[in-house]
Amino acid sequence: MKTQVLSWMALLLLVIGMITMPGTAKGDAVPGEEIITLGEDLSPDDRTRLLEEMSADENDTIIYVSNEEEHRYLGDYISASQIGTRALSSTKITLTEEGSGLNVETNNINWVSEGMYANALVTAGVKDADIYVTAPFQVSGTAALTGLIKAYEVQADVVIPEEQKKVANEEMVRTAELGERIGTEEATELITRIKEEIGRQSVESEEDLRALIINISNELNITLNEEEVNGLVSLFDRMQDLNIDWNQVQDQISKVRNNLDDFLNREDTQSFIASFLDFINQLIDSARGWLSSES
């Protein structure tokens, strides 16, 4: 029953995203110009279509992401076949006012969720930005993180250490893989909670870290197998070795949560949800009628 409910909620959120979210990243409070990243292997037609989708053109600042870069950052975590041979995922990143947090929207991305991007970007040190990720057709979306980090470095005039980029990519992949088994929302929430707790308390040893991960998974009613626990311990152990500002991590995670809550609580969103649920109820009633007539 829980799986069915989660499936309906996932469908609801997907439809809400397609119908109510704009095709470009929001730019209400933009202190600087937007930067576009394009997959190096897009066809001319796909390139033109994606630029139009992002309300961009050839005069905008464009950074290209190669398949070689995708393999460099993802090759240790997923197979070469899954990464593929073409760089296609494209993005738009817009720096917003300080304190606004991260807003992430996606289109044609079927493996990495908005929350997973936000979490990984926070780990990489990205903050206060509107993010849009897209592709010419359905793709996993793993390669987009490379472009987003690359664009943020240029736009914010910062240098993100290579190890921090790799850990962010590993986090994204592990969350997505975990999401395949326990659900996208559950996996994202688990990773978020672990990061929040690491920021709040001192984790002195690997044993402490393991206990923290298991305790949080139990609180969320998530059962992790030994391989999954070991993978998360390894990930967060590496993360703790980085020079990460955990206060900033907590602050950005809080804003990501608030941004999602603000969207879900908006009057137009609530109105749409009510209308959509009415529509679903009508479908259910119709289905009952079909079943009754066939029996």
102-106, strands of its sheet edge to edge: 61-65, 35-39, 90-95, 129-134, 102-106
Q: What is the largest CA-CA distance in the chain?
A: 67
Structure tokens at 40: 């190096």
pLDDT tier, 26 (very low <50, low <70, confident <90, very high otherwise): very low
Q: Is the pLDDT assigned to residue 240 strictly greater than 90?
A: no
280-288 contacts at long range (C-beta below 8 A, 24 or more positions apart):
280/8
Q: What is the pLDDT of residue 33?
A: 64
Residue 157 is given by DSSP the state T
Residue 225 is given by DSSP the state P
Q: What is the pLDDT of residue 19?
A: 33
Question: Average of pLDDT values for 89-106?
Answer: 93
Q: What DSSP string runs through 33-63?
A: --EEEEETT--HHHHHHHHHHTT--TTSEEE
What 3-state DSSP class applies to 94? Answer: strand
Q: For residue range 141-194, list pLDDT tens digits in order.
A: 988 999 999 999 998 889 999 999 999 999 999 999 999 999 999 999 999 999
Q: What is the pLDDT of residue 17?
A: 38
Residue 88 is given by DSSP the state -
Q: What are phi and psi of 144, to 5 degrees?
A: -60, -30
Percent residues over pLDDT 70 in the chain: 76
DSSP count for the chain of H helices, then E strands? 12, 5
pLDDT tier, 1 (very low <50, low <70, confident <90, very high otherwise): very low
Structure tokens at 236: 């967060």
Residue 40's contacts (CB-CB under 8 Å, 6 or more residues apart) are 64, 65, 66, 67, 87
Q: How much is the mean pLDDT over the chain?
A: 81
Kind and range of the H or E element at 130? strand 129-134
d(CA 125, CA 221): 30
d(CA 110, CA 170): 18
Distances (CA, A) of 100 to 28, 103, 111: 11, 9, 26
Q: What is the pLDDT of residue 255?
A: 81
Q: Is the pLDDT assigned to residue 209 strictly greater than 50?
A: yes
Check: CB of residue 175 under 8 Å from CB of residue 118: no
